[in-house]
Every structure is written in structure tokens, then in C-alpha cells.
Structure 1
């Protein structure tokens, strides 16, 4: 592979830079919004006005200023924080530092095009020109209108290149969900895909989708093969779809399942989901196969229950279901698009116990939640049959941390962070609130798709009321989704008190409204503070991903590893993949 991949020393140097930045700024990311007013968070951490912060952030900090000289009125600062008081005194210095310590600012990521170019060149040098289908690309407007089609299209091309470069025909999709990526890899590239998900609901749904796609698969593959042999220009997508449709008369529900809205996965409860829908009236804007899939979003991997906590009946049921699927889904069978399996996956999982026909394979994960993403990398390293990995994680707030001072136990004693020996040797700790902040989407917020401030404001003021009138209340109790049902702040508080089983008769409506009016004038403080969290998000995410990359760099048998921006961050905020290969000499 090319020298686009940085050495382990260079990655460690980048980690050190981000660590130094976060050692000063992480306290802001870890401040809990619920305690914003009870702990007077703004005055504790910030010495400038909310208006100044909001103005600087909304202008993206692009204004270039001359460095301020340190003097009596200009205290010495580090990344905009006063060295004496540890409070933020220079917002512009912070914004510039945050940009410099993001993955883009550190310059450690390859683009998707750069990775594909390297893979194709390596393939060409070792085995001649790659197959035509691996080089085929759709124009952006054919798939960029949908988040899911964008993700599947972008990632599947990379995975197919990895598989062909490694000379393998099998792909293992961990956290496969409803099987969009798995199905596309099988139909478009002829790969044998095993989708493993801990949710039996997801695998049952994927199995049903396999049945529906049976006729489509045959027609699609036949049509694709015929199309590739033609010398004339490529047909338009609507002509391709029209050529396939006649084969689907007996199962018309394959093509379109209406009425289901696709919701953009943000990975954070602080970010508003943005609704998107595949255009059923304009099939020319979509790749034909993606039009055939249902448009409901692939949800993050559901809560996983370790095998030790399953009942004997549940373990037996899962084993029976998997055996039945294995008997039905042989590699040469046309009855399925791919093989969905239900299993809880750990680095110790024996893949041969799940897959009888296991050969050398590529392991992939598209938006695997929490600890599942680092577990995917651990499996890649531990299993000799896995020749390459392409992992896109999400839901950083669900990661377990080995050095959590609260003493939270890691699942089966294996923590998701830190993964690398380099950070583990330093006992580095981020904190849940900081990891939650890492899920915020800076690019979207910059375009006005911002944080739902009113709900956060309501929750913070409720905390003041609980402190003042319910001293026995345990703050760790959760209010839940009360805001969406409330008609006003008074209604919100009353619903919350009932949810928490507290005596609401202590407060009159006017008492409650007085709290709202008192703190409403300070709402800009909360808005500005949360914008600071958004500004820090790329650096926190960067450290988490650099840790994963460093882990692969530490492995002797991993010949190539890199961070790759696979997706457009406006469409898919969790846009970075960790890619690794075995079997090629390091350069």
C-alpha cells in the first residue's frame, strides 16, 4: 500500500497533541447540562459573555486576529483558557485550537477516493486490472439524496475492493441490523455475506427481506451481467429498473414499502433527527437496488445480552434458529441474498461455531454502537481467517472505559476505551458526558440544524426546582421523554414530578412559572455553552478514533491501517472508518 498511512510514531504524536488540548478543555465537555444552573456552570468555566461566544461560533471563528500580548489585562492563556483561573477568556483562540486538533486539522485521514486509488493500484501491481464492477462509480446525485443509500454505496465499494485485493469471497457484517449493506454486497459484488446481529428481531426481518428479494436478486444479477457485456453507453437508472420490474410481478412488495420515514442517526439525544425519505415518485434519482429495499432506517445495534445472562431456553432457541438458517443458506443457494445470524459477539467468539462454511473473510461494521466497534477490531486482530476490516462506529456514549473513576465495570472485563496499549499505559479517561459530546454533529449545527435548546433548558430548570423543593430526590433518576408531550413549562414540570413519583401539590402553577421566567433571561448562557461542546466534539471523536488506529498500528501482522472519511458528514455525521489489512509488507 502507499505511504498514505501514517506510522505508529506519527499517530502517537497526534494522540499526544489531542490529549494536551483535551486536558485543558475536557472539563467543558464533561459538564452536565442538567446541572447547568444548580452548579452555576457558566461562571465556573467561562469568563466571556454568551453573546461573544455565540457570535464567534456562528461565524466559525474564521476571523484572523493578531495574537494578544500577555499583560495585566491579558492573562496568560492556553487554548484560550486562563492559566490562573482555568476559565475561558479567549473564544477565538479556543476555536482555532479546536479546529487544529480535529481529525481534519491533524491531517491524519485519507479520503475514500485516496483509499480506493491505493487499493486499485496495489491490486493492479499484484494481479492486473481489478474487475470492472469494482471500478464502477455512480454519480453523486444518484445516491446522495438518501442517507442510507449514500452510506451503503460508499462503504460497499471499499469493502468489495478489500475483498478482491485479499482474494476472498466472504464478508462478515457485524451488527448487520436489517441487512442493507449485506444485501448490497451480495447482489452488486457477488460476495457471500454473513450478517451477525444480537437482535433476533433484526435477523428475522432480514430473513424475510431475503425471501422478498429472491426474485429481484435473480433478475438484478441477470440484468447486471448483460449490461456489463454491452459496449454501448450505460442505460439510465429508470431504464434499468424497468428492465427488472417484469420479473417481479409475483412479489410487488419487494420494490417499495411505503409510509416509513428514514430518520438520520445522530448517536446523541441532544441532536434533532432530520427526516428523509427515498423518492418513490422519482426513481431516476436512485440506484435500482437501493430502491428495492425498505426505507426504514438501520437502527443502531440493540442492547446486547451476554450469553451468560441468557436463559437456557433462549440459548437453545438461538442455536436452533442458526442451525436452521445454516442448512437453508448454503453458499451456492439462490434462496437467500445473505445469511443473517443471531449472536452476541465478543473478541472471543469462535466464528466457525456460527459459520460452518467459514473461509478467509473481510469483517465489516456500519455504525456499530458503543463497544461493538472496538470489539470488531479486536476480532480482526485475533482471528487469522479475517484478512481485512472496515469499521465505522457510532454511539460513543455507550463505550465502556477501563479507567472510569466511578468504577463502572466493563462488559466481560473488556472495555471499549482505550483500545491501544499506548493510551492504556497512560490510564487515559474521557468521561461519559464528553463521549456524549463527541456524538454532536458540528457540520450540521453550523448549518443551523442545531441542538433542541428548549428541552435542555426545561430539564436544567426542573433540576433547580428539585433542588429547592425535593431535597430527598436522587438526581440520577431520569425524567424520560416528557418534553415531547408537554404543552408548556408548567405542564412539563408536573408531568416530570408525576414520573418521578414526587408530590406536585407543593408547587402552584405560578411558582413553577416564576422559575421559568427567572432563568429564561439566562438561556443564552446554556445555548452558548452547548455550542462550545459542539466545537469540542471533533477533537473528542478524533481521540477515540486515533486510539483505534493506534491499536491496529501496534499489531505486527497488520500491514496497513488508516482512518478514512467514507461519508459526507452532512449526510452521515459518523463518517470515519478504521480500515486494516493483513498480508502486505509495510511501506
Structure 2
């Protein structure tokens, strides 16, 4: 018996189009790499307001200013961001909660469970942290309700809680190709680890591989759409945690890495050498920040890992870079908040592509995108839920 709370393929496609039209222009913010922030003078290239205005506008928005700014232009004539309230308004309009595409969890619970008294499926707070306990309790209830509704008696439902990167896409493909699997409930994560079919169109070796994690749907594949790794990394940023939970991003480590790139550019070769370090795996300095006692110590350890000799640079010279860029640290903080505001839009596109993929299949009877978790507790809070044709039995 099919569930009534469903959205059609045409509506999903229209929302994807709505998002891609928006992101065609706004991805220029999400695709900025922290490494390049100072070497490419990103703030002055893309933003025309003080960093304090961005920080206050995103972390402490005023309801009146948001309403006033929503109808204004985000960009000035030189295509620099000059209206934070308008920026927040347009990103909010393009985030999943405001697209009218998600199936409300309470509505789905009511249809699956009706007025029956709900059992406590799992009580995990005694042996799990708050985040994981919340996730497991909510998801176990949903899976149990769904299995009962679909008359699933044995291991014939695929469940994935924070399936990393391509594993989320593979989970949906397994569901499609295995008729014995009656249903799927998948919450993905780690979008930066997704493989993208059209990310490197000029790289024949890469483009010959597959299957790809993104895009999955024929609709998006026909457009050869791609986000880029930096944008997918931005999609992982926890918007609700930062804006409502006031959880701070790891700013100092990002600042150290951005200033390191300035030192690499000015002391260890020309721009070509600097770009090579950025493009290849050697650019990753890993968790050196957490092993460093100071900025000077960080630079020593990082350059050594990158195969560079910083012994001719005095501690005072290195410290001078810190002192020079420290007054501009708020620029980096503010720009990362601009990325945070875009995160729900990019995540929404990735998830709608997965939903579109399921709705394109002839053997899927019902599919939905549902917010399962509190996003402050669990930032990756959306589940793709589906059942196949001829797999649902009447209750």
C-alpha cells in the first residue's frame, strides 16, 4: 500500500533547476580554498563590506534587517558582496527546509504508526554520547515503523547511518539492483569524499572511472553538473550548529594554513611551485597544527613535511608573518561564515540528486527526503527513504 506523503519527479527536477541556477553564481564562494585566502587576496576580491558586518549579520541577525535586506541586491556593480542580509535571505530561500520538497517526519510517523502507542525502541543514552544516542534512537524508531508498515520480516531493508562519501550512493544503487531488498533508509555524510563524474572533464583517466557518487540522476548527468571538491567540503559545514548552537569553527588552524601558503609562495619558489603544492597530495600538512606549540613551530614542522627547508628563516621572520596577517584573521572567519550559510544549499542539491535518481527508477514505488535528526545535535540530519514496487504489502 503506497504512502500518500510523496512528491513527484517533476517537482524534484524543478527544485534542482532552482538550486543549480542559484549555485551557478554562488559556488564561487564555496569553491574558495582556505589555502588561497591570503595569496589571492580573496576577501578584497569578493567582499565589499567589513568582516565584522558579515560576522554579526550571520551569527546575530536582526529580524527587521533580514526582512529589509531580503529584497535587495547581494552584489555591487563590481560583483562584490555588499549586502549581508540579502545574502542570508537568498541562501535561506535555497536551503532544503524552504524548498517544500521534504516529507515532514511527524506526518510520516503518523501514517506509518497511526495512533498506536509508540514503544521505546532503543534507549542508548547510557552507553552513547548525546549526538549518537539521538541519531540511533530516532532512526531505530523510523526503521522499525517502516519495516512494520512494509511487512518486512527478515533482513531485507538496507539501513545506513552516516554512510561516508560514495557509500551513500552505493547503498541506493544496491537497493535498486536487488529486488529482494524491500526498502532503504540512508543518511549520508562526508560529501567531500564523493567522486564527481564531471569535476575534471579534461582528465580522460579520471572521467573513465565509475560508478560515480555525484551526480546520480540522469537529469543532472545530462547537464554535466559538478560542484567541485571545495564546494562539497563546504556542504559539510554545520550551519545550524554555528548559527543556532554557536559552535565555533576551527579558525586558528585554518589561519595558520593560509599564512603558510604565503610563506611558501614568497620563500620557496614562484607561483607555479606554490600551485603545484596546492594541487597535489603533498599540500596536505595533516594534523600538524595539533602537534605544534606555536606558529613558528607549526611552520617548521609543516615545511619539513612538504619537503622544504626553513632553517634559513629566522624565528623572528616567521613570527613576522603571523603578526602581519593576524589583524586580517577576522576576514577569514567572516568568509568561512559565508561558506557556512551556503552549506545547506549545496547539501540540498546533492540530496535532491539522490532523490531524483530514485524517482527516475521504474521499480521504486515511493521515495522521500526526510529530516530525521535535530541539526544542532546532528548536522547530517536528512534521510533518503524508499520502497520498491511489488515490495510493499497491505497492512
Where does residue 185 of structure 2 map in the other structure? 390
| Equivalent pairs, count | 377
1:386 partner SS: coil
Is the CA contact (8 Å cut-off) linking 1:61 and 1:95 kept in structure 2?
Answer: no
Give the CA deviation at 1:145: 6.3
- The match for 1:369 is 164
- Shift of the 405–87 alpha-carbon distance from structure 1 to 2, 3 Å rule, reads farther
Larger radius of gyration: 1
What is the alpha-carbon distance in structure 2 between the residues aligned to residue 575 and residue 493 of structure 1?
A: 37
Q: Could you say what secondary structure the match of 1:389 adopts? A: strand
| TM-score using structure 1 length | 0.61
Aligned to 2:341: 535
What is the match of residue 55 of structure 1?
56
Measured on the aligned residues, the alpha-carbon RMSD in Å equals 2.4
Tell me how far apart the structure 1 counterparts of residues 196 and 62 of structure 2 sit (CA, whole Å): 33
CA pair 68-577 structure 1, distance change in 2 beyond 3 A: closer
Contact 1:400 1:410 in 2 (8 A): no
Is 1:161 aligned with 2:145? Answer: yes
Matched, 1:423 2:220: yes
SS of match in other structure, 2:213: coil
For the structure 1 residues 578 and 411, does the alpha-carbon distance in structure 2 shift closer, same or farther, using more than 3 Å as the test?
Answer: farther
Deviations 1:346-370 (A, max 9, x none): xxxxxxxxxxxxxxx1111111100
Mark the runs of 5 or more structure 1 residues left unpaired by the alignment.
71-76, 122-128, 172-360
The correspondence of residues 24-173 of structure 1 with structure 2, limited to 5 A, is 24-60=25-61, 62=63, 63-66=65-68, 77=73, 80-82=74-76, 84-121=77-114, 135-137=118-120, 146-171=130-155
The aligned residue for residue 260 of structure 2 is 462
Note the C-alpha offset of 1:531. 0.4
Structure 2 CA distance for partners of 1:140 and 1:88, relative to 1, 3 Å = farther
Q: Describe the superposition over 1:305-345 as per-residue Cα deviations: whole angstroms up to 9, x where unpaired.
A: xxxxxxxxxxxxxxxxxxxxxxxxxxxxxxxxxxxxxxxxx
What is the TM-score of this pair, normalised by structure 2? 0.89
Tell me how far apart the structure 2 counterparts of residues 507 and 11 of structure 1 sit (CA, whole Å): 56
* Pair 1:453 & 2:248 matched: no
Contact 1:434 1:540 in 2 (8 A): yes
Structure-2 residue corresponding to 1:440: 237
Other-structure match for 1:319 = none
Determine the structure 2 residue equivalent to 1:503.
309
Measure how far apart 1:396 and its partner are. 0.3
User: Is the Cα–Cα contact under 8 Å of residues 122 and 137 in structure 2 kept in the other structure?
Assistant: no
Q: Distance in 2 between matches of 1:10 and 1:155?
A: 27
1:376-406 Cα deviation digits (max 9, x unpaired):
1111111111111101100000000011126
Distance 1:440 1:67, change over 3 A: closer
Which of 360, 374, 377 lines up with 1:571 in the alignment?
Answer: 377
Distance 2:343 2:22 in 1: 12
Q: Secondary structure at the match of 1:413?
A: coil
Any idea what the Cα deviations from partners look like across 1:465-504, whole Å, max 9, x if unmatched?
0000001453332211111111111111111122222111
Q: Tell me the residue number matched to 2:9.
A: 8
Q: Decide whether aligned partners of structure 1 residues 388 and 569 sit closer, same or farther in structure 2, where only a CA change above 3 A counts.
A: same
Shift in alpha-carbon separation, 1:431–1:61, aligned structure 2, 3 A: farther
| Cα deviations by residue, 1:240-280 (Å, 9 ceiling, x for unpaired) | xxxxxxxxxxxxxxxxxxxxxxxxxxxxxxxxxxxxxxxxx
* Residues 11-30 of structure 1, C-alpha deviations (whole Å, 9 max, x = no match): 11111111122112111000
Q: What is aligned with 1:526?
A: 332
> Residue 162 of structure 1 contacts residue 362 of structure 1 at CA under 8 Å; is this kept in 2?
no
On the 8 A contact 1:61/1:96 being kept in 2, the answer is no
In structure 2, relative to structure 1, the CA distance for the partners of 1:156 and 1:138 (3 Å cut) is closer
One of 354, 362, 368 as aligned partner of 1:556: 362
> What's 1:379 paired with?
174
For structure 2, the 5+ residue unaligned runs are none
SS in 2 for 1:506: coil
Deviation of 1:88 (Å) = 1.1
Report the secondary structure of 1:368's partner residue.
strand
Is contact 1:400–1:411 with CA below 8 Å preserved after alignment?
no
